[in-house]
């Protein structure tokens, strides 16, 4: 793997040199400048893989620095980290809104935090995420909207529509996974134990041959953490390498993140070919969804990269599709009707709904939603 190049922009020479020494120990190539204008010139000229900048620049406002890089096509996708002594929440927010991916406070823990963030940002890049299989991320603004069940059922339908394609579901719901109980997976291997393996032990061949293929769902599964204590041991730095390996092996990589918009899951949503947002019909969840969609927009997730599903499977109450669309000011792509006891029956037998009730209206909608999401993801990939 080519050596990664990091630019440090900081007017404080002692701070700049300290960070540079720590990153050199990790075998990164380091560039240093002491002003915002020099930082812009170096970024455009030297094309570093990542920029670390103290927003308290001697000549430029840090937010202007980030904005200018974001608005230039040569540097619009480069990861930016703010490393600052300013604890003010308003400054943190303004830096993030101007284009910084992360904001780290200078402290005794800063180097460790910086190392983790760099590993994560290098793991998920626009280039890597546009290679290999199509990636669909399932999320919601509130728990209980059926994200995991929808992920599993659409994965089944994709495998049925394209039986020659290889489909994998990755469960990144924390602190406890949700897919395993749906498909009746009871073995010990899971995301935590796999992330603890070295890249040599968990390479493309491992993910192609060793992940369980769950029947009758017809997809391979990367199970989630079986308990909260174990999830605390997750080697986060390996997540993005694992996703890259999955994309190199499978034609469709479906990732369930539940209601999480964390530092682990947000980069995956930002780089997904399609983000599938589950919405329940109660007004409080719809308002939370509106906030989540607005947040994702500020993070560069385009409207055409989001596929919305209104899920009424749990009950008849709540807003209609039209009412939800009015509040959200978007078109809802699919609406799952109330499924009554049939849904619980299929779940209790760990069987895909479409397989159990193939003639039901909801099964037709599941299949149509799968077909449409596949087409939209392919179109977004370009």
The domain spans of the chain are 5-123, 127-381
**Cβ neighbours, 10 Å, residue 34:** 17
Check residue 349 and give its pLDDT.
95
Check residue 315 and give its pLDDT.
63
Structure tokens at 114: 């910086």
* DSSP one-letter code for 337: P
Same fold, 5-123 and 127-381: yes
> To which H or E segment does residue 179 belong?
helix 179-183
User: What are the backbone angles phi and psi of residue 371, rounded to the nearest 5°?
Assistant: -60, -45
- Helix, strand or coil, per DSSP, at residue 293: helix
CATH class of 127-381: alpha beta
Name 164's Cβ contacts closer than 8 Å, sequence gap at least 6: none
| CATH topology assigned to domain 5-123 | Rossmann fold (3.40.50)
* Contact status, residue 345 vs residue 337, Cβ threshold 8 Å: no
* Contact status, residue 321 vs residue 332, Cβ threshold 8 Å: yes
**Cβ neighbours, 10 Å, residue 149:** 23
Burial per residue of 278-305, b for 16 or more beta-carbon CB atoms within 10 angstroms, e otherwise: bbbbbeebbebbbebbeebeeeebeeeb
CA–CA distance from 2 to each of 5, 17, 28, 49 (Å)? 9, 23, 10, 11
The mean pLDDT values, 10 residues at a time, for the chain of 382 residues are 84 94 90 96 96 94 95 91 94 92 90 84 72 96 92 98 98 95 95 91 94 96 95 86 93 96 86 95 93 90 95 77 94 92 90 96 96 97 86
Check residue 64 and give its pLDDT.
96
Check residue 1 and give its pLDDT.
45
* Contact status, residue 357 vs residue 363, Cβ threshold 8 Å: yes
- Block residue for tokens 């720590």: 22
């Amino acid at each position: 793997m080519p050596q990664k190049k990091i630019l440090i922009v900081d007017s404080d020479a002692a701070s700049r040199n300290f960070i540079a020494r720590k990153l050199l120990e990790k075998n990164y190539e380091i560039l240093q400048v002491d002003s915002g204008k020099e930082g812009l010139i170096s970024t455009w000229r030297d094309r570093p893989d990542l920029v670390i900048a103290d927003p308290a620049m001697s000549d430029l406002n840090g937010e202007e620095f980030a904005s200018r890089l974001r608005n230039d096509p040569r540097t619009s996708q480069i990861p930016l980290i703010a490393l600052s002594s300013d604890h003010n929440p308003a400054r943190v927010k303004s830096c993030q809104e101007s284009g910084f991916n992360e904001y780290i406070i200078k402290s005794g823990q800063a180097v460790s935090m910086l190392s983790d963030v760099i590993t994560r940002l290098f793991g998920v890049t626009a280039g890597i995420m546009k290679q290999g299989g199509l990636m669909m991320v399932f999320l919601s603004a509130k728990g209980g909207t059926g994200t995991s069940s929808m992920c599993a059922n659409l994965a089944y339908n994709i495998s049925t529509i394209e039986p020659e394609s290889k489909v994998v579901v990755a469960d990144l719901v924390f602190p406890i996974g949700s897919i395993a109980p749906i498909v009746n997976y009871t073995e010990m291997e899971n995301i935590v134990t796999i992330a603890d393996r070295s890249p040599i032990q968990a390479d493309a061949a491992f993910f192609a041959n060793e992940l369980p293929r769950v029947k009758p769902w017809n997809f391979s599964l990367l199970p989630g953490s079986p308990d909260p204590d174990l999830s605390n041991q997750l080697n986060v730095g390996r997540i993005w390498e694992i996703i890259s390996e999955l994309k190199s092996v499978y034609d469709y990589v479906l990732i369930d993140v539940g209601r999480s918009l964390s530092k682990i899951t947000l980069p995956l949503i930002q780089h997904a070919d399609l983000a599938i947002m589950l919405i329940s019909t109660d007004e409080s969840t719809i308002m939370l969804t509106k906030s989540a969609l607005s947040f994702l927009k500020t993070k560069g997730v385009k409207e055409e990269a989001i596929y919305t599903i209104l899920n009424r499977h749990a009950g008849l109450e709540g807003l209609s599709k039209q009412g939800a669309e009015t509040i959200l000011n978007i078109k809802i792509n699919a609406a799952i009707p109330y499924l009554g006891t049939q849904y619980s029956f299929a779940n209790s037998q760990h069987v895909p709904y479409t397989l159990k009730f193939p003639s039901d209206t909801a099964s037709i909608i599941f299949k149509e939603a799968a077909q449409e999401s596949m087409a939209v993801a392919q179109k977004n990939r370009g």
